């Protein structure tokens, strides 16, 4: 019976530790949930380089990027991103204290990744979070210049394809802008385009030079989606009907 007073502090200490440990586990789970949601935001079937994945991940609130491995999402073992996140929880109900932890997780970015896939616990690498330069801006397509400089052919006149090509050459276009010219039925169609990523709307400009009319326009967004055929020289010569 005399040992009970000695056991009481030990029991209280054990109970106290039991309160802290569940709170730390809950805080870790909260940190893991931040990493899991980051993985969901990065999940995509679109091919991306490791740098593109890292740049996208660095823009997610509550996430620090410590390491990016791999070449691209569709090569080899895809891309692994080690992220550091934080989570918080409270100890007990009586006089609760907030417990905050910072944890690191490996997020796999691959077309084979499952939606909501749990990130792996990893040790945090040494060093500061990575930073990524913003992506280069795509070149601007010269709508106004093209409209101003393409030849105007009077009704009943003949369109000179060579003159149209000389006009495009004189615009001194950015090397990333692809041009295509095609003559058909007494008219000349023109396509200026920038390479797309195969998922988002492509950036392109169409023109048609014909007797009595020279037109320049940007196809509707739906027509510029991959596979819709809006960014083709054929669409310049014979435009698709406007979407309803």
Each residue's pLDDT tens digit, 14-42 = 444 444 468 899 999 999 999 999 999 99
The pLDDT tens digits of the residues spanning 127-159 come to: 999 998 887 888 999 999 999 999 999 999 999
Determine the pLDDT at residue 133.
84
Question: What's the rounded mean pLDDT across residues 181-186?
Answer: 96
Determine the pLDDT at residue 81.
96
> With bands split at pLDDT 50, 70 and 90, how would you rate the model's confidence at 222?
very high
State yes or no: pLDDT of 177 exceeds 50: yes
Determine the pLDDT at residue 197.
73
Rounded CA gap, 44 and 127, in Å? Answer: 29
- Non-local (6+) Cβ contacts of 151 within 8 A are 159, 160, 163, 164, 167, 209, 214
The interaxial angle of helices 50-58 and 4-42, nearest 10 deg, is 120
Q: Which residue has the higher pLDDT, 137 or 67?
A: 67
Determine the pLDDT at residue 21.
63
Rounded CA gap, 219 and 241, in Å? Answer: 10
Strand partners, 69: 80
Q: Which residue has the higher pLDDT, 100 or 16?
A: 100
Determine the pLDDT at residue 6.
43
Query: Tokens representing 122?
Result: 């990893």
Determine the pLDDT at residue 121.
95
- Non-local (6+) Cβ contacts of 185 within 8 A are 237
State yes or no: pLDDT of 80 exceeds 70: yes
Q: What are phi and psi of 100, to 5 degrees?
A: -120, 135
Rounded CA gap, 180 and 83, in Å? Answer: 44
**Residue labelled with tokens 């990575």:** 130
Query: Tokens representing 105?
Result: 């997780």
Determine the pLDDT at residue 4.
42
State yes or no: pLDDT of 229 exceeds 80: yes
Q: Which residue has the higher pLDDT, 198 or 205?
A: 205
Rounded CA gap, 106 and 73, in Å? Answer: 15
Tell me the average pLDDT of the chain: 88
Query: Tokens representing 8?
Result: 């009481």
Structural Rg of the chain based on CA atoms: 30
Determine the pLDDT at residue 1.
42
> With bands split at pLDDT 50, 70 and 90, how would you rate the model's confidence at 111?
confident
Determine the pLDDT at residue 120.
93
With beta carbons less than 8 A apart as the criterion, state whether 214 and 186 touch: no
The pLDDT tens digits of the residues spanning 119-130 come to: 999 999 999 999
Rounded CA gap, 191 and 204, in Å? Answer: 7
State yes or no: pLDDT of 189 exceeds 50: yes
Rounded CA gap, 74 and 67, in Å? Answer: 19
State yes or no: pLDDT of 9 exceeds 70: no
Percent of the chain scoring above 70 in pLDDT? 91
- Side-chain-side CA neighbours of 68 within 13 Å: the count stands at 22
């Amino acid at each position: 019976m005399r040992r009970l007073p000695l056991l009481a502090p030990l029991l209280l200490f054990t109970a106290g530790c039991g309160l802290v440990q569940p709170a730390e586990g809950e805080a870790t789970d909260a940190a893991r949930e931040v990493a899991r949601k980051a993985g969901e935001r990065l999940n995509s079937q679109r091919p991306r380089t490791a740098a593109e994945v890292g740049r996208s991940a660095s823009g997610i609130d509550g996430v620090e990027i410590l390491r990016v491995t791999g070449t691209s999402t569709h090569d080899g073992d895809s891309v692994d991103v080690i992220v550091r996140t934080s989570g918080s929880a409270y100890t007990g109900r009586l006089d609760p204290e907030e417990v905050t932890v910072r944890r690191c997780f490996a997020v796999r970015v691959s077309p084979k990744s499952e939606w909501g896939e749990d990130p792996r616990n990893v040790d945090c690498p040494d060093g500061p979070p990575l930073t990524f330069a913003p992506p280069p801006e795509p070149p601007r397509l010269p709508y106004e210049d093209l409209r101003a400089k393409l030849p105007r052919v009077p009704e009943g006149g003949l369109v000179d394809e060579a003159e149209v090509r000389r006009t495009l050459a004189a615009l001194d276009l950015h090397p990333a802008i692809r041009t295509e010219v095609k003559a058909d039925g007494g008219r000349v169609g023109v396509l200026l385009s920038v390479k797309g990523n195969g998922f988002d709307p492509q950036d392109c400009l169409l023109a048609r030079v014909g007797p009595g009319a020279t037109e320049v326009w940007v196809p509707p967004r739906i027509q510029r989606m991959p596979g819709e055929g809006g960014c083709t020289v054929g669409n310049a010569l014979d435009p698709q009907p406007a979407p309803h």
